[in-house]
Amino acid sequence: MIKKELFIGFLVGLIANTIGFIIAILIFGNGEDIATAFRQSLAQGFFSKLVSMGALLNLVAFFMFIKVKRDYRARGVIFATIVVTIVTFLVNYK
């Protein structure tokens, strides 16, 4: 039961981060498509900033789960945020 709740929170965290990242690309991508803006963000060094802005939706998911007393799902969102942080670090500083 606990593993299922953590996994649901992890998935929600990844989905929220992905949606937030896409929204950040659409806002700050200078009207280009997502793939081009993604490549440019990697080349110009602001990829981590876009991921950070995307992670703001994780705050919404986290506090939503805390409010409805789903603590293990909230932990899953935190775990997803940590995983995304590590992956972002590896992509930026490979």
The number of folded domains in the chain is 1
State pLDDT tens for residues 43-67. 888 888 888 888 899 999 999 999 9
Sign of CA dihedral 26, 29, 31, 35: negative
What's the pTM?
A: 0.87
For residue 29, the 8-state DSSP code is S
Give the structural domain span for 9. Answer: 2-92
Mean pLDDT of 66-70: 95
